Amino acid sequence: MTLPERQLANAIRALAMDAVQAANSGHPGMPMGMADVATVLYSDYLKFDPTDPKWADRDRFVLSAGHGSMLAYATLHLSGYARPTIDDIRNFRQLHSPCAGHPENFELEGVETTTGPLGQGLATSVGMAIAERHLNAIYGDELVDHRTWVIAGDGCLMEGINHEAIGLAGHLQLGRLIVLWDDNKITIDGSTDLSTSEDVKARYAATGWHVESCDGHDPADIRRAIDAALADNRPSLIACRTIIGFGAPNKQGTSATHGSPLGGDEVAAARAELDWPHEPFVVPSDVASAWAAFGEKGKKLHAEWSGRLANHEKKKEFEDRVSGAVAPGDAFKAYLDGLVADPPKVATRKASENALTALTADIAALVGGSADLTGSNNTKTSSTKPLTKDDYSGRYVYYGIREFGMAAAMNGMALHGGVVPYGGTFLVFADYCRAAIRLSALQKQRVVYVMTHDSIGLGEDGPTHQPIEHLQSLRAMPNLLVMRPADAVETAECWAIALAQKERPSLLALTRQNLPPVRHDVTENLCAKGAYRLRAANASRRVVLVATGSEVSLALAVADQLEAAGQGADVVSMVSTELFDEQDAGYRADILPDDALLVSIEAGTTFGWERYTGRDGMRFGIDSFGASAPIEDLFKHFGLTADAIAPQILARLGS
Amino acid sequence: MTLPERQLANAIRALAMDAVQAANSGHPGMPMGMADVATVLYSDYLKFDPTDPKWADRDRFVLSAGHGSMLAYATLHLSGYARPTIDDIRNFRQLHSPCAGHPENFELEGVETTTGPLGQGLATSVGMAIAERHLNAIYGDELVDHRTWVIAGDGCLMEGINHEAIGLAGHLQLGRLIVLWDDNKITIDGSTDLSTSEDVKARYAATGWHVESCDGHDPADIRRAIDAALADNRPSLIACRTIIGFGAPNKQGTSATHGSPLGGDEVAAARAELDWPHEPFVVPSDVASAWAAFGEKGKKLHAEWSGRLANHEKKKEFEDRVSGAVAPGDAFKAYLDGLVADPPKVATRKASENALTALTADIAALVGGSADLTGSNNTKTSSTKPLTKDDYSGRYVYYGIREFGMAAAMNGMALHGGVVPYGGTFLVFADYCRAAIRLSALQKQRVVYVMTHDSIGLGEDGPTHQPIEHLQSLRAMPNLLVMRPADAVETAECWAIALAQKERPSLLALTRQNLPPVRHDVTENLCAKGAYRLRAANASRRVVLVATGSEVSLALAVADQLEAAGQGADVVSMVSTELFDEQDAGYRADILPDDALLVSIEAGTTFGWERYTGRDGMRFGIDSFGASAPIEDLFKHFGLTADAIAPQILARLGS
């Protein structure tokens, strides 16, 4: 290389400060601070082919400090990806530009994961690194042999999820995960001294990480540190000592460069300071050529890899795995048939285990786990031996008491591809991982959340463990498929639906308590319509009872009492409000007719059920926190029994 | 003491295993494992007066591993608290027993905080310790001089919030916080080896903690470790090496004792092993007497303290502080008057800062903070200098990038009493601290969440930062008061409402962008009714537009267009759905009449708005994720402009 390396890094700096200035919003400080590190990474280490951003054996690069998105856009542009173009960068943060305020994987192929919610990029990368080692254990170095690189800031390290993520990575000894920490000692509020006194490196070392430090503005020192990381079999943290906003002579090293444009004067001063006399958005040809050359090595490696794949005995299997195509097979079919032959009275968490036993036998890509509730979530099957540091071929991750870390890791596994992750915790602890569930939904990833103990039906553990608002609060989230099955057949159907969702996560809400079978045929996946008429009124229909999960059998009992009083009542199982809302108006009107009293029954908040009952319907649920008691006492206490509900409906009907 | 200390601990063990056995559910392992530690704590260290559980200068004891609730119930009972009685303990986990599955502070006075959601007890204790040092700085050792003790398990230490909590405690050098870690090497899934390889003590040391170890079954060694902790000015972690289920000869040391009754045979075997021949729920008189004596020392200390208080120059002020009575004063009144005289066009986050400037001048108990977004949340005022390890008298906490830790700490501050905490982050990051917000609500604590950047109105930061489902998902939570004011007057009113809530937390959703004034009178706090008619229809009323926050001014513009077309339209500002739902039926029917088309406008999900519009009304909002662009482009893109909305309403009206 004949150009000074600093000039290659300055291309990142200039694009960052110019794009932020043009948008009049954004974060120049991080890209300018980490430009030298990124340049070293792209020039000598990162394995990528800009002509095929989805090459299965590419290194994954995660910009966990997502506010520094211009670093990602600049490096993708400079290193030869088709997008972003320089015009995309000119339109940074404008409507329809792929260069969004934070990097969005659905906007740009070179962006491996959506980042911005702090800490999650790094936690997601742990899942990528797990998936890589898992597939490596199955397909070998010939096909799977790549690294996961992360740039993280102080925010990513201070967030609680960092502890969960690095604990998991250290425990699983994910040596191919390397985190480049932008150690600039500045947060939004000012110096890190305002809020932390932590010895970060000692903390990482305590959790089984290899730790290095380097001068983040000295390419040779950066290379030394990375080489040491490559030589170690533990995950590595490299503390890159940097100056935020490096090159902006009057503002660098201060939080003023973090989240605001530098201003015209300071941009001009930085141009002088950096010896970068070029117009905004202009990259001189020598710099552009040097950057473009970085991608050549990867193209060659990609070609060699393609050669190995072409001759590999597992070529077809590998390609299928990477494609993400999964389908229930013979074991699942046999299981469904058995449900008809011998309908079980089981908890839906147990029904989920039974379905999973078949599905994990059918589908090798399924990788399960639980946040230390394996026996409660019923997530482990005989097909899923533990995935450990000594055997990455396992298909069951003991995530530990790390709900958020689990969810983020599952996002990473799904994003990596080749595996379909599912994992369990109690529904109430959806609150602990909600921010990662949101990123599953935003990123359109097929992650399956197995959330058990889904109501007061869990009994004695009491209000801290009893979901009340959770179902509705999760249904409110865009692009998340919430399903609450009523028995073993519906649970199996929900699993089939979840695995068929290539562009959204699913969340299964499952009971602790046993439920009677309500469905006795499996000829059609009725849950796929979201809601369906489980039983039609016998007498002339006056009421439609809409229930979910454990309250479907309750609704049947209510209907019995109404019918006994001469009032016809349909019973509708509304497994998924989202799927129901997607049906055509005719179907929806048939299920929820205007001429009947519409009644919802769900052992959770009634908030939001007006969507289906209207203001004039009736809603039975729980609008307070729960209580600690045996299950039967609780359902009675909260008025969720047929004897409590039916008379109220009859009173409303005036009969 | 003439009795072997082990027998005093065995009283805890016996009550725990018997209560769990009687309830046929619960967690015997932790109380049996930590019984010796708890006995030492109560006998020699914990400052408490069982006859006055709310004595302001008592030590706080937090059972962070809340599943081991029988340890708390046993020690409270044995040490002389009025409740729980032995009958309460016999009714462990039954409806209406104060001995709930997990300790609930609203059930028993001796329970300092509701625990069970792992990690939060410890994180809450950090807030208690902050409040203690803060009040000590103001009122001196004579009135405030106590410690916060925590028993935590592996789950509490693995959860991400642990990192945030101990980072904050280490940074603030909360030396009066002592954590007794039940180091039993067992989690629900089995050995901790399954999921963690962490050197916990090294991690704590890395964050500024003093660390000790002891044999958790050797009282002398426990005392040695605690004495060392008392002598150190850093917060202390004591790793108490214990055997889970100690005393159950066939099950101890295994996860089998964690969350299930031991079974009749094993309970009998444990009785023999522990030399505890007494019937279930029977505590022999010598053991009972020894335990009862533990409280005597505290009674004496309490009496001495009462004497000091009686003669203290700040007696009245201190009692007022502890009572929790706060009221806006002259500065706030002057601020309100100024709003009428000169209505500002400001963002509601700025209006919140202005209100806080007055309120923090009026009310010394207000202690603010932000999770590293001070300048964005506008939470700091001239009255609130930083609270630091060198000056605990400060009233502003730089919480760092620790949303969850901040929220849990605020719970602890509120529970401690003497301070009224408020803290800020972006509304979208409510997801990061949602589990703690839930505990604010469940525990009925006056915590004020200042959540800014409350819609796509934040602009370019894009979908990861734009709340969509958050308002509704938070409104779905029981006992949380969500308020979204429309201008500076409403913001001030919401602050007054929030401070008046002695039994629930409040969450203020505030804009980044400027909003025009819509209210010009302050004679009555109209927000207190939740929703009110901001402008009545001019033409004959056909439509009621219901809007919140930044969309209220939009609704006014829509109304203008409707009126111009001859269609009368009321505009309702629905600041708080919870408060509105609490109004009588007549008021609600007057605001939302049946004879008008009901239309909601809110820049978030439409999910749930059917409660106010009915199925036949119209809902304008955003049912997908947001996008990165300037604010004006976004509102236009998502159809939230008067020009987009008014024609749809007119079309529906058939005019």
| pLDDT at residue A1, rounded to an integer | 47
Report CA A467 to chain centroid distance, whole Å.
21
> Two tokens at B173?
């050098």
Give one word for B324, left, alpha or beta, with left for phi > 0 and alpha for psi -120 to 50: left
Closest CB from A115, A196, A207 relative to B167: A196
Q: Mutation target for B interface from A91, A105, A114, A159: give the one with most B CBs within 10 A.
A: A159
Closest-CA residue to B531 (of B640, B426, B609): B609
Q: What is the DSSP letter of A277?
A: -
- Please state, as a whole number, how many other Cβ atoms lie within 10 Å of the Cβ of residue A564: 10
Q: What's residue B3's pLDDT?
A: 86
Percent with pLDDT over 70 in chain B: 100
pLDDT in tens, B81-96: 999 999 999 999 999 9
Cβ-count burial of A476 within 10 angstroms (0-12 exposed, 13-18 middle, 19+ buried)? Answer: buried
Whose structure tokens read 């009113």? B493
Task: Give the pLDDT band (50/70/90) at residue B1.
Answer: very low
CB nearest A431 (choices: B435, B605, B610) = B435
The whole-angstrom separation of Cα B397 and Cα A228 is 39
A159, B401: Cβ pair inside 8 Å? Answer: yes
pLDDT of A58 > 50? The answer is yes
Do B202 and A206 lie within an 8 Å CB cutoff?
Answer: yes
Position B655 confidence tier, pLDDT thresholds 50, 70, 90:
low
3-state secondary structure of A531: strand
CA dist A612 and A356 (Å) reads: 32
Percent of chain B with pLDDT over 90: 99
Interface test with A, best of B89, B93, B126, B615 (most A CBs within 10 A): B615
Q: How confident is the model at residue B45 (pLDDT cuts 50, 70, 90)?
A: very high
Task: Name the minimum distance, in Å, from the CA of B338 to any CA of chain A.
Answer: 30
CB-CB contact of B273 with B248 (8 Å): yes
Work out the average pLDDT over B532-543. 98
What does the pLDDT average to over B8-13?
Answer: 98
Inter-chain residue contact B386 with A607, CB threshold 8 Å: no
CA distance B132 to B149: 13
Q: List, in sequence order, every beta strand (DSSP E) within A208-319.
A: 210-215, 236-241
Q: What is the mean pLDDT of residues B600-620?
A: 97
What residue type is B438 in one-letter code?
A: R
What domains can be seen in chain A, in order of their start residue?
A: 5-302 (3.40.50.970), 330-515 (3.40.50.970), 529-653 (3.40.50.920)
* Residue B484 pLDDT level (bands cut at 50, 70, 90): very high
Question: Which residues of chain B does A374 touch, with a Cβ-Cβ cutoff of 8 Å?
Answer: 188-189
Nearest-angstrom CA–CA distance, A223 and B216: 48
- B183: helix, coil or strand? strand
Q: How far is A439 from chain B (nearest CA, A)?
A: 8
- B102 and A477: CB-CB below 8 Å? no
Question: Per 3-state DSSP, what percentage of chain B is helix, strand, and coil (rounded to 5)?
Answer: 45, 15, 40
Residues paired with residue A574 on neighbouring β-strands, in sequence order? A531
Interchain pair A160, B405: CB under 8 A: yes
- What's at A415, amino acid-wise? L
Task: Answer yes or no: do A469 and B464 touch at CB < 8 A.
Answer: no
Q: Of residues B104, B403, B490, B551, which has the active-site annotation?
A: B403
Report the Cα–Cα distance between both ends of chain A, in Å, rounded: 89
Instruction: Report pLDDT for A208.
Output: 98
Task: Please report, to the nearest 10 degrees, the dihedral formed by the alpha carbons of residues B515, B518, B524, B527 taken in order.
Answer: -60
A502: number of Cβ within 10 Å: 11
What gap in Å lies between CA A165 and CA A148, rounded to an integer? 14
Say how many residues make up chain B: 655
Encode pLDDT of B559-572 as tens digits. 999 999 999 999 99
Q: What is the CA radius of gyration of chain A?
A: 27
For residue A28, what are the β-bridge partners? Answer: none
Q: What are phi and psi of B457, to 5 degrees?
A: -60, -10
**Which residue matches tokens 């964690």?**
B258
Of the candidates A653, A466, A621, the one whose C-alpha atom is nearest the C-alpha of residue A555 is A621
Asked if B187 lies within 8 A of A614 by C-beta distance, the reply is no
Of all residues in chain A, the one with the smallest CA distance to B606 is: A476
Q: Is the peptide bond before B4 cis (omega within 30 degrees of 0)?
A: no
Cα–Cα distance measured from residue B108 to residue B50, given in angstroms and rounded to the nearest whole number: 12
Give how far A307 is from chain B: nearest CA, Å. Answer: 38
Residue A552 predicted with pLDDT over 50: yes
Question: Which residues of chain A have a CB within 8 Å of the CB of B438?
Answer: 431
pLDDT for the residue A655: 65
Nearest CB to A171; choose among B95, B195, B607: B195
Closest CA to B419 of B397, B442, B441: B397
Residue in A117, A476, A629 closest to B608 by CB:
A476
Kindly tell me if the per-residue pLDDT of B352 is higher than 90.
Answer: yes
Among candidates A167, A376, A463 on the partner chain, residue whose Cβ is nearest the Cβ of B198: A167
| pLDDT (average), residues A437-449 | 98
Do residue A202 and residue B205 have CB atoms under 8 angstroms apart?
yes
Cβ distance A187 to B115 less than 8 Å, yes or no, reads: no
Using a 10 angstrom Cβ sphere, with 0-12 exposed, 13-18 middle and 19 or more buried, the burial of residue A315 is middle
DSSP string, A561-611: HHHHTT-EEEEEEES-HHHHHTS-HHHHHHHS-TTSEEEEE-SS--TTTHH
Return the axis-axis angle of helices A403-416 and A120-143, rounded to nearest 10°: 40
B435-468 pLDDT, tens per residue? 999 999 999 999 999 999 999 999 999 999 999 9
Best of B460, B474, B633 to disrupt the A interface (most A CBs within 10 Å) is B460
Chain A residues within an 8 Å CB radius of B629: 93-96
Active-site residues of A, by number, are: 403
Whether residue A239 contacts residue A178, with contact meaning beta carbons closer than 8 Å, is answered with no
CB atoms A94 and B630 under 8 Å:
yes
* Contact yes or no for B478 and A194 at CB 8 A: no
Q: Which residue of A has its CA nearest to B386?
A: A194
Per-residue pLDDT tens digits for A508-522:
999 999 999 999 999
pLDDT value at B2 more than 80: no
How far, in Å, CA of B224 to CA of A577, rounded?
59
Cβ(A66)–Cβ(A8) under 8 Å?
no
Q: Name the residue facing B399 among A195, A405, A608 (closest C-beta).
A: A195
* Beta carbon pairs, A and B, within 8 Å: 348
Residue B462 Ramachandran class (φ > 0 left, ψ -120 to 50 alpha, else beta): left
Of A154, A399, A630, the CB nearest to B195: A399
State how far the alpha carbon of B339 is from the alpha carbons of A62, A581, B102, in Å: 48, 45, 47
Residue in chain B closest to A613 (alpha carbons) equals B615
B477 and A469 within 8 Å at the Cβ level: the answer is yes
Q: Do A629 and B386 touch (CB under 8 A)?
A: no
The secondary structure element, H or E, covering residue B422 is strand B420-426
Our CA-based measurement puts residue A480 at a distance from the nearest CA of chain B, in whole angstroms, of 11
Q: Which residue of A has its CA nearest to B625?
A: A478
Q: Is B351 left (phi over 0), alpha (psi -120 to 50) or beta?
A: alpha
CB pair distance less than 8 Å for B611 and A615: yes
- Using only C-alpha atoms, chain B has a radius of gyration, in whole angstroms, of 27
Q: What tokens were used for A242?
A: 């940097």
* CA atoms of A405 and A400, how far apart (whole Å): 9
Instruction: Look at strands B506-509 and B448-452 and give their pairing.
Output: parallel
Best of A458, A464, A512, A622 to mutate (most B CBs within 10 Å, chain B): A464
Is this complex's ipTM strictly greater than 0.95?
A: yes
Write the pLDDT tens digit of every residue in B142-181: 999 999 999 999 999 999 999 999 999 999 999 999 999 9
- Cβ(A221)–Cβ(A214) below 8 Å: yes
Least CB-CB distance to A614: which of B195, B202, B615?
Answer: B615
Residues of B whose CB is below 8 A from A476: 469, 472-473, 476, 605, 607-608
Q: Search chain B and give the residue with CA nearest A204.
A: B203
- How far off is chain B from A474, nearest CA to CA, in Å? 7
Q: What are phi and psi of A189, to 5 degrees?
A: -75, -15
**pLDDT confidence tier of residue B549, bands split at 50, 70 and 90:** very high
**Looking at the partner chain, which of A442, A462, A478 has a beta carbon nearest the beta carbon of B100?**
A462
Query: What is the helix, strand, coil percentage profile of chain A, to 5?
Result: 45, 15, 40
Long-range Cβ contact pairs of B303-306 (< 8 A, separation 24 or more): B305/B55, B305/B57, B305/B143
The overall longest dimension of chain B from CA atoms, in Å, is 92
User: What is the pLDDT averaged over residues A240-264?
Assistant: 96
Beta strands in A403-480 (DSSP E): 420-426, 448-452
**B152 close to B189: Cβ distance less than 8 angstroms:** no
Pairing of strands B236-241, B210-215: parallel
DSSP state, B41?
I
Q: Do B429 and A435 touch (CB under 8 A)?
A: yes
Angle at alpha carbon of residue A522, lines to A520 and A528, rounded to 5°: 115
**A428 to chain B: which residues are within 8 Å by CB?**
117
Cβ contact, residue pair A171, B465, below 8 Å: no
Q: To the nearest whole angstrom, how far is the Cα of A416 from the nearest Cα of chain B? A: 20
- Residue in chain A lying closest to B387 (CA): A194
The minimum CA-CA distance between B539 and chain A, rounded to whole Å, is 26
Chain B closest-CA separation from residue A597 CA (Å): 13
Judge: B625–A386 Cβ closer than 8 Å, yes or no.
Answer: no
Give the angle subtended at the CA of A9 by the CAs of A6 and A12, to the nearest 5°: 150
